[in-house]
Amino acid sequence: MDSPRKRTCKNVKTLADSAENQEDELDVSKFENVRLSVEENPRAIFIEPFYGGSHKQLIDTIVKYIPNSHVVTLSAKKWHWRARCSSLIIHSLIPSISTENVLFCSSILSLSELLGLRPDLQPLKKVVYFHENQLVYPIREIKQRDVQFAYNQITTCLAADIIIFNSNYNKTSFLDNLVNIIKIFPDNKPKYLKTKIEPKCHVLYFPLEFPKNWEALSKCNAVLHIAWPHRWEFDKDPETFVNILKRLKNDNITFRVSLLGETFVDVPEIFDEAKEVLKDEIVRFGFIENKNEYYEALQVCHIAVSTARHEFYGVSMLEACYYGCLPLVPNRLVYPEIYPSKCIYSDETELYLRLKQYCLVPELAIHHRNSLNMDFKRFSVDELVPQYLQLF
């Protein structure tokens, strides 16, 4: 097995290789992709059980501004298991610390379990960040919902001192759906959960690093280029998007498409179908690890589309919009909070018709994007990081 890998962050010293095993503690060397950084007398502890995508991006952004930080992360694999087991894996990796510190974690961590395993962490200021909430997670089959993940997030909120949501929609959907989860309990239903949790809740948008000076690449106006910049997972509903593209192709509508976004262990089968059926239309297929190359890929696209069923902020869509794509987003989830009404479609038929229109006249997409009045400053590191630093 790989030993824990080193990571280098500004103002953060690195703990080499692996923690020394002690009796009755987990053997860290038996876990893949455990990342550790440590500084004496840390000002803050950062814990991220799913260190990938926006979860990784947030930790990497904030830790640059927090000296004396201790960072523990697990790789972005099998989030279900990270939500179930990360406290057990992580609890022995955190050294004994003083009580002046802050513990900052994402809601994937079961904070109440961690505190049970490490009661010495209880005096710390405990800040939980919600990238997403499991109370409204879409399910593929109509069966009794497995409430364990929602339950973990509820108990995490009860254990936390401060709860940060990345959007008003995220906060509201969590608080409003507490009652629906409690209804599933067979008896002894807990009371006053919203009353206990809501006063701790705050909203801070996800801080994005927008370069102030960059040269826009020219777009090919002859053929519309569509971007789909999302994780290749069920909750982003790639099937709807691919089916609309297939319909455009069957109607002899010309377009190009780049299917971008990070992939994990389980990739929906629709991407294999898309690779074959849309082979003549696909420009890029797969995750672009180099950020500059990724941003260049976005710049040559005219439109970025979301068909998501589960979205609470949408880093990839905001980045695509910043780099010159016209966003087309559904009238649900967080999107009406962030995007003007001209970017919002009501259903799949409207999305098809709007894409068809832009395919026929690509210059129209450029015109609509250029006339889009969006204030990106409110999503920027410059605006938001000072607010995050107040948590510490």
- Residue 138 pLDDT class (50, 70, 90 cuts): low
Q: Which two tokens stand for residue 353?
A: 């018709």
Residue-wise pLDDT tens digits, 256-265: 999 998 887 7
Which pLDDT belongs to residue 41? 62
CA distance 301 to 321: 10
Q: What angle do CA 107, 40, 83 make, to 5 degrees?
A: 15
Question: Among residues of the chain, what percentage have pLDDT more than 90?
Answer: 75
- Torsion over CA of 261, 263, 267 and 271, rounded to 10 degrees? 40
Question: Among residues of the chain, what percentage have pLDDT more than 70?
Answer: 86
Distance of CA 341 to the CA centre of its chain: 23
Q: Which CATH class is domain 225-378?
A: alpha beta
User: 3-state SS string over 165-220?
Assistant: ECCHHHHHHHHHCHHHHHHHCCCCCCCCHHHHHHHHEEECCCCECCCCCCCCCCCC
- Residue 230 pLDDT class (50, 70, 90 cuts): very high
CATH topology for the 5-204 domain: Rossmann fold (3.40.50)
What value does the mean pLDDT take over residues 103-117? 98
Which pLDDT belongs to residue 40? 60
Give the start-to-end residue ranges of the domains of the chain.
5-204, 225-378
CA distance 308 to 331: 10
pTM: 0.87
Residue-wise pLDDT tens digits, 308-335: 999 999 999 999 999 999 999 999 999 9
Which pLDDT belongs to residue 266? 84
What value does the mean pLDDT take over residues 75-80? 90
Which pLDDT belongs to residue 26? 45
Strands 69-75, 34-37: pairing is antiparallel
Contact 157, 321 (CB under 8 A): no
